[in-house]
Structure 1
């Protein structure tokens, strides 16, 4: 079941990364919304809920893991794709396996990003069927 005009949230504190991801996603036919902080993203959920979220692991304030934990605590079962520039980061045992798509290490090819987004949308579609 395809989701019409999927909304992908991009949460990253680096403006260049946000802009690049938002542009790549839009060119691939997704609706992409960008947020500079985890707090900004969580506040926006009151108005619109995306189909999946791309979360940077390291941000000032709330980290990507902090945001994912808040999503889980609010019972918002949004598929999450984590991204990081660090080789030292692991998400093993620290995220909800039902909604975590994976961890992409920057820089990553567009194809890898799109595969992760499609996997996230499949998770979202399965959740809608339950």
Structure 2
């Protein structure tokens, strides 16, 4: 049997609906979006160069991807194992751990990216 192919328009619509669902239902996704907005505003105010922007965009994207995958794993586990089960807990905890590692990676990238520009800005205030 030939698999059904969605139109490109429909595929994008499904992807956007998935992102919006995660934003609407997941507290951590809202936190990640707020943090990303703060980071991007700070990067714009400090007039960071393209390479620094690239690292920030990469870090934010990794966090968003990890959180979306975590949300998908949780939904699948809830569907197939509505009752508590040790393997369901392991799957959910592991997916949450991946999102945590991504967020920690983003914090480290943020420190590395912002340290020098913020230090230079603070020095300019005192001179």
- Fold agreement, TM-score > 0.5: no
Pick the structure with greater CA Rg. 2
The higher-RCO structure (CA 8 Å, 6+ apart) is 2
More strand by percentage: 1
